[in-house]
A and B are shown apart, each in its own frame.
Chain A
Amino acid sequence: QVQLQESGPGLVKPSETLSLTCIVSGGSISSYYWSWIRQPPGKGLEWIGYIFSSGSTNYNPSLKSRVTMSVDTSKNQFSLKLRSVAAADTAVYYCARHAPYTSGWYDPFDYWGQGTLVTVSS
């Protein structure tokens, strides 16, 4: 059974960089697309971007200027960096796997991490 676990600081100061890692266990990170999705407290879901195991990426245009994703296949993990954070970036951040129903990224999210709350505050 594939499991995903997010890790990283729960508190980030405004204007600094949010850094999270998602460790994948119970399956290989290779040949899959992996996404970061966030959910502000009490609100809906926003897709941040995806990364393929080869390292190719696609980011939400609304966040593209501040986002970088990377993958480390040797450690079976992938990461998110969000620069210049503000209070509006306070959210639960989820990592998720794209289901393998197509040959591309055009799939729903079949496995999710439990999520990690990141608060932006001084």
Chain B
Amino acid sequence: DIVMTQSPDSLAVSLGERATFNCKSSQSVFASSNNKNYLAWYQQKPGQPPKLLIYWASTRESGVPDRFSGSGSGTDFTLTISTLQAEDVAVYYCQQYYNTPPTFGQGTKVEIK
């Protein structure tokens, strides 16, 4: 199985400030056949299912605010929230869908400082 490791486990950021957190895969999730990284980011608020934010490592899902951006390739990926809003308090998960079984990171909890 591909192991996904996120860092940090939790992060406290002031409103309006930038939040950046990372995801590392135990093997590359980049496919040279189509030049895509099989990496997604999800946001999960308490009592709710995860919500897809980013796929192909950097493509925003329809309706996701542009303050969310994804970057990285191969084994190292980053999710950035450019200006943190109160509604962004949540746990964020990365997920690889390059190999079966698809696997998730342990999550990064984002709070307001």
* Interface SS majority for chain B: loop
CB atoms of B100 and A45 under 8 A apart:
no
CB distance from B2 to the nearest CB of A (A): 12
CB atoms of B52 and A108 under 8 A apart:
yes
B95 interfacial by beta-carbon distance below 8 Å: yes
B21 interfacial by beta-carbon distance below 8 Å: no
CB atoms of B93 and A109 under 8 A apart:
no
| Contact partners of B52 in chain A: CB under 8 A | 99, 108-110
B97 interfacial by beta-carbon distance below 8 Å: yes
Over the window 46-59 of chain B, the binary record of Cβ atoms lying under 8 Å from chain A Cβ atoms (1 yes, 0 no) is: 00111110011000
CB distance from B109 to the nearest CB of A (A): 11
CB atoms of A108 and B49 under 8 A apart:
no
CB atoms of A115 and B97 under 8 A apart:
no
Task: Tell me whether A47 and B55 are in contact in the complex, defined as CB-CB below 8 angstroms, given that A94-B49, A110-B61, A114-B49 are known contacts.
Answer: no
CB atoms of A47 and B50 under 8 A apart:
no
CB atoms of A44 and B106 under 8 A apart:
yes
| Contact partners of A54 in chain B: CB under 8 A | none
- Highest count of chain A CB atoms <10 Å: which of B52, B61, B93: B52
Interface residues in A17-64 (C-beta closer than 8 Å to B): 35, 44-47, 58, 60-62
CB distance from A7 to the nearest CB of B (A): 15
CB atoms of A44 and B40 under 8 A apart:
no
B102 interfacial by beta-carbon distance below 8 Å: yes
**Total interface residues in chain A, CB < 8 Å:** 23
Select from chain A the residue with minimum beta-carbon distance to B31: A106
Give Cα distance in the complex from A79 to B98, angstroms.
Answer: 25
Q: Can you give 25 A-B contacts (C-beta < 8 A)?
A: A35-B102, A44-B93, A44-B104, A44-B105, A44-B106, A44-B107, A45-B50, A45-B95, A46-B104, A47-B103, A47-B104, A58-B100, A61-B101, A62-B101, A96-B49, A99-B55, A101-B55, A105-B100, A106-B98, A108-B52, A108-B95, A109-B40, A109-B50, A110-B61, A114-B48
Interface residues of A (CB under 8 A from B): 35, 44-47, 58, 60-62, 94, 96, 99, 101, 105-110, 112-115
